[in-house]
Structure formats: structure tokens, C-alpha cells
Amino acid sequence: MLVGAIASGNDYYLHLATAAAIAYILTVAFNLIYGYAGIFNLAIIIIYGLGGFTSVYLATTLGASFWLALLAAVVITSALSVLVALPSRRLGELFLAIQTLAFALALGEVLLNWQTFSGGTIGIYSISPPTLFGVELVGGLPGYYWLAAVFAWMTYALMLRIHMSGMGRMLTALREGPRVLAAVGVSPATTRLVAFGLSGGLAGLAGALYAHFQLVIDLDTFSFGRLVALLLATILGGAGYFLGPLFGVLAIVAMDELSLATSQAQDLVYGIGILVLVVATRGGIAGGLSRLRALVTGGRRGAEPELTGTELTAADIVAAAPGAEAAASIAEQIVDPGSRRRIVVSEVCVTFGGTKAVDGVSVEFSTGEVVGLIGPNGAGKTTLLNTITGDAPTSGGTIALDGEDLLGRRQQEVVRLGVGRTFQSPKIIPELTLVENVMLAADGVGDAGWLQQTLHTPASKRQDRRSHERAMSLLADVGLAGRADHRASDQPYGVLRLVEIARNLMLDPAFLLLDEPGAGLTEFERAEIAATVQAMSRRNIGVVLVDHNMSLINAACDRIYVLDTGRLIAEGPPGEVLAQQHVISAYLGVSG
């Protein structure tokens, strides 16, 4: 409103404000796919152009109304973007970028030769302006500015809803660690398709608005130079930040105006401006402001609570007061899976090249017990867990949950069947706060679908409120309530371990596979984990514990399996198994 009021008396400023509003929509589209989801989509500009050509073709050649042509442009560009992403679901970042570049080049060639649609090398001129209630909205006049401003505001509102909802957390997780998404029951491939669809639709919207704003459109408008400008706006504003596109567009407009005012040094001014912004504001303008805000609020908030405690012996580990108190509270929140459930692993083999990482191993786990899985480094412990969760393919054997075959299932499907896991190194999203990391689990298994989360409907808001309350309660139980709103990137290793366990408890799993949860922790922190593990067992959760710390294994486990060079060499109660000479020889390196 303020920009419109200021610019309404000046044709140049009005034209500039309209172009900036359209540029904001396009920058939001790229920030969503690149900044949030971490996908370098090089086809974004040609999709932007396709939106413009589609709306013009439908309105000019086929006689459709501008509003119908605009809607069709958004739908077509969104659908085409999803189709581009479909074959790339298993591609890494580099190969995905190459694929989108290949698509952009191919589509550009198609548009160049489809003259009835794009006008070929000449383009399309004399485009009719849109009308609203009989009033023509001509580019450069107030009517069209308000049209562009309304769509820019709608884009802002949509991104605000995405940013505040589970969809924003899932897109950020896709950028930082796609494996985490699968571990909380979310399909990384589906999330990627959603990102492509949303980004493509917004780019198509911007293209349609631009074509009817300029009343002239040709392929040169959607060249590589426009992609460079878009990338600059995204990076300067702050890739992955909600306000990044706004700051980026304002920065580009300001530098353009300054360089035009000093026409003899235009390129120099532009280059120096970009260099200063990049060097002075790591993470762009929005990132710099975010760090400044954190510095100010952090100073007011004071120091973070200490997590250290007294050293505990192995005999005291379960009886440790802090761990016992937390475990009692956590136990109240764990949902009992009900009837006894079993995972049966039979004669499983895993081969990498010519090496057998797992060689004919047969084990089984039941709910209500804690089972240790130990062995020297390289024994195949983590690989065995990966076969259960769908992370690693097997070359033989069977894995079943209550008689249902798990082989061939994707990790997110296994999670939804009731099997959660942690990793050797905590898989935490550094850009999210601790409470948001825990809430991510509810985003994966909650009732609100991706569309509800994108629009942040009342159902999505209710789910967020419930998951936030439970996440805060779980963090309080592990002594992290005071850090709940702190970013994970600022937290020590032990905190991230506890957050990962809390996130898994949000899933209400029947089984929880813990891969070296005690690694790098103090005895005090291991006491918390041991007490939590036993609390889960008492609530009928099956826990599989992989760790090298014998105090933790002895304190927490009902029975253990021992692996060596991919083979099972012993099983039974911890005290008996660890006293066997061949186990000592294999695990501790002592000659039998």
C-alpha cells in the first residue's frame, strides 16, 4: 500500500514498483526450490518463460480470458516441473542440476521452433492487456501495479504459511539431510516433487504477469543472463530465509538505480555493491539480520543452561537421579504399542563389492526388551541395522516384522510400520531449532497431508500445536527445555544425541534402533540414555542398542548379540556373553 501510494504520482517509479513485485514472485519461486529445498533448478527461467508464453497464447490466439489463461499457465508450469523432477528422484544434487539444465535447453529449442506458440526469434507483440470489470489494466499504470502487488502479497502469504508449517520444516530437512526425512516417515522423493511443483507454479505466475505487463515477449527475455540475475537476488537477499527474496529484489533494484545514476561507472558500482553485500553479510542480508537479532536476543537471554553433572560409575548408571527422573516422565508419554511384536532377521547377507559386510546373520528382537548389538569396528552392526530399516539392500536372507516382509520397503515405509532409528552421527537439521527438529517427526506421521501443511490449514495448525506441546514436554524430560528455541547448529554433541532420541519418541515406535547413542557423551549423559532406554522397555518398546561402552550395555540390556567380521559369534545375557573367551578375543583383541 505504501509503495503504491508513493509511486502512483510518478510513471517511472510505478513501472519500477510493478517490475519489482513480479521479480519478487519469481525470486520466491527460486528461493523455495534452491534456498529452502537445496535443489539447483536451472530450468526455473525457461519455466518462467513458458508461463508467459502460455498465458499469451491462450489469451491472444485462443481468445481465453486473462484470468483463465493465468490459471492455466500456473497449472501447466507446475505440472511440467513435477514431470521434470519425476525421473530425478534418485539423482544427487549435481546430476539433478545437469538434468534441469538439459531440460531447459531442450524446452528452449522447442519454443524457438514452435512459432505459432512463441513467435520464434521475433517473439509476440501487441499483447492485449487484461481487463477487470471492463477496466483495462495496462502495464505501467496504477491498475496493473495493484494487480501485481496483490499477487505478490498472495505469494508472500503462501510462503509465510509454508515457512510456519511442517512443509517448511520438511523442505529445510530436504536441503540439509534427506536421510532424516525418511527416518521420520517422510518420503524425500515426494517432498522434492512438492518443491518442484510449488516453485514451478510460482515461476509460471510471474511469467504470465510479466508478459502482460510488458505487452511484448520473446525468448531473449528468458536467457541465461536472467538466471544469473535471479541467482544474485536470491543469494544477496539470503537463500533459505523467508525475507530473503524481498531483501534480494530491493538490493538489486537499488544497485541498478545507483549504477544508472553513475552511467560511466555502471559495471563498477554494480560489482562493488555485490562484493560488499556478499562479504559483509554471510547468508545474505536476511542472514546478517538474523545473526544480529540472535546476538541481541541471546545477550538478553543469558547463558545456556549447563548440561554437566557428576561422574557416575557403571554400577550407578541406571540409578542416577537425573536419568531416573527423566525416564519416569518420559515413560508416561510413550505410547504402548499393545500386543507383543517381533522383528525376525534370518540368514541375512549383505555384500559390498567382493566383501561380505553381513554373513548369514540370524537375530530377533521383541517389544518390551532391550537387546544389545556389539562387536569391534567393521563387524557389521550398523549395516545390519540398515538392512532392517531399508537403508541397505541384502543379497540373501529374510527380514520380517510380525510376519510381514520388510525387504524392498523404503525407509519411510518401515518407520510407519513402527521401526524408528538413530544414527552413528546425530542426524539433526542445523538450521532448525531443537523443538522444530523434534516436531519434524510429527510432520512425517501426522494426519495433515502436504497440501494442508502447505496452506497451513486449521488441521495443520492443530497438528502443529499438539506436536509442539509434546515436543516441548519431551525436551523438558531430557533437560533441554531451556534450549528448545535455540538453533541446533549452536548446540554441543551431547545435546544433539538427546534431541535425536526425543524426535524418535515422537513417532511412538514399536521398536527403536539406537546406533551408538553413548558415543562422545559423558557418563552423566549416558545415565540419561540408559534410564530412558529402560523406561521405553517398561512401556513395551523394543530397543536395539549398538554401542561400544560396556557400562551402558551392561546397565541397559536384557541380552546381547556379538558380531565379528559380519558373523554372529555369541548371544545371551550380557554378563555371560562378555565373559566368554572368544568374545574377549574378538572384541577386545586379547588372545584366546
Distance CA 38, CA 245 (A): 15
300's enclosing H/E stretch is helix 284-301
Domain ranges of the chain: 2-221, 223-302, 321-336+368-374+407-556+569-588
- From 255, 256, 258, 236, select the one nearest 246 (Cα to Cα): 236
For CA atoms 283, 286, 290, 296, the dihedral sign is positive
Contact 442, 494 (CB under 8 A): no
Q: Beta strands 370-374 and 342-352: pairing type?
A: unpaired
Residues near 215 by beta carbon (within 8 Å), at least 6 away in sequence: 125, 126, 127, 129, 138, 139
Question: Residue 565 — φ and ψ, nearest 5°?
Answer: 50, 40
Is CATH 3.40.50.180 the right assignment for the domain spanning 321-336+368-374+407-556+569-588?
Answer: no
The answer for 269, left when phi > 0, alpha when psi is -120 to 50, beta otherwise, is alpha
Find the Cα–Cα–Cα–Cα dihedral 530, 536, 540, 546, rounded to 10°.
Answer: -50
Query: Tens place of pLDDT for every residue, the chain, 592 residues?
Result: 556 556 566 778 888 999 999 999 999 999 999 999 999 999 999 999 999 999 999 998 898 999 999 999 999 999 999 999 888 767 777 788 888 989 999 999 999 999 999 888 888 888 888 988 888 888 888 899 999 999 999 999 999 999 999 999 999 999 877 788 998 989 898 999 999 999 999 999 999 999 999 988 988 888 888 888 898 889 889 989 999 999 999 988 887 777 666 665 556 666 666 676 666 556 788 888 887 887 787 655 545 555 543 333 333 433 433 444 555 555 555 555 557 899 999 999 999 887 889 999 999 999 999 999 998 888 899 999 999 998 889 999 999 999 899 998 988 999 999 999 998 888 899 989 999 999 999 987 888 888 899 999 999 999 999 999 999 999 988 788 899 999 998 888 888 988 998 999 899 899 999 998 887 777 777 777 788 888 888 888 999 999 888 888 888 899 999 999 899 999 999 888 888 888 888 766 555 4
